[in-house]
């Protein structure tokens, strides 16, 4: 595990992005670990029905395997972020391997549009990993509110308890994939609830 002091220094220096100070009635929905046919199609349908936009943090090898899904994400006005090449803890990777994985993911994703944001796998990056991402032109973003139940996708009650935690500038973190079939329902319920409070979901760059 990362030493607490080492891990928290980048946070104190403002290098890790958690939320957006804003007066506009908007928040950010983000999804990790896609794209995946098991969930991405349904997620996009839910977002379109609500007129919402989101930021998808995509795994490089999965994006390469499903270019049609990445193309649809971009075509429907959503933002794409770099979630490294494989679903593995970023902080464990040797620095040279991490840089190579980050660049390989960028190469796949940039075919579909600009990529500004990076989210480390399995939590925190080390300061050295963070520095590499910054050298590659990427800003690290974690989130304000994270769904833990349902392997990060949510359950039947997740939208209800997430709703009061979502405020202006909140960054919500959810996960998708074959073991996370409830995530479209979670998003559907959350967007219904936040809309009643006058909040709109947008892409990260629209607020940041």
CA separation for the pair 12, 127 (Å, rounded): 12
* Catalytic residue positions, numbered: 32, 175
Assess contact for 193 and 50: CB atoms under 8 A.
no
Radius of gyration of the chain measured on its C-alpha atoms = 16
Q: Cα 11 vs. chain centroid, distance in angstroms? A: 18
Assess contact for 60 and 36: CB atoms under 8 A.
no
Q: Which of 131, 167, 124, 185 is nearest to 19 (CA)?
A: 167
Return the structure tokens found at 183.
Answer: 């995530």
* C-alpha distances in Å from residue 144, one per residue of 67, 93, 132, 178, 185: 29, 25, 23, 25, 21
Return the structure tokens found at 126.
Answer: 């080390």
Q: What angle do CA 108, 100, 117 make, to 5 degrees?
A: 55
Task: Tell me the backbone φ, ψ of residue 57, rounded to 5 degrees.
Answer: -90, 105
16 bridge partner residues: 140
């Amino acid at each position: 595990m990362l030493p607490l002091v080492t891990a928290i220094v980048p946070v104190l220096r403002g290098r890790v992005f958690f939320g957006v100070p804003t007066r506009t009635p908007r928040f950010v929905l983000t999804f990790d670990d896609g794209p995946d046919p098991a969930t991405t199609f349904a997620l996009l349908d839910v977002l379109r029905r609500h007129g919402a936009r989101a930021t998808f943090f995509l795994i490089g090898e999965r994006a390469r395997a499903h270019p049609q899904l990445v193309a649809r994400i971009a075509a429907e006005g959503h933002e794409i972020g770099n979630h490294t090449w494989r679903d593995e803890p970023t902080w464990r990777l040797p620095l040279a391997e991490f840089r190579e994985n980050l660049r390989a993911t960028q190469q796949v994703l940039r075919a579909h549009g600009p990529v500004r944001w990076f989210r480390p796998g399995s939590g925190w990056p080390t300061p050295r990993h963070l520095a590499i991402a910054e050298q590659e032109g990427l800003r690290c973003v974690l989130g304000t509110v994270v769904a833990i139940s349902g392997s990060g996708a949510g359950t039947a009650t997740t939208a209800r308890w997430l709703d009061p935690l979502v405020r202006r500038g909140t960054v919500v973190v959810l996960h998708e994939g074959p073991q996370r079939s409830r995530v479209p329902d979670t998003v559907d319920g959350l967007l219904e609830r936040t809309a009643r409070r006058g909040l709109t979901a947008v892409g990260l760059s629209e607020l940041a």
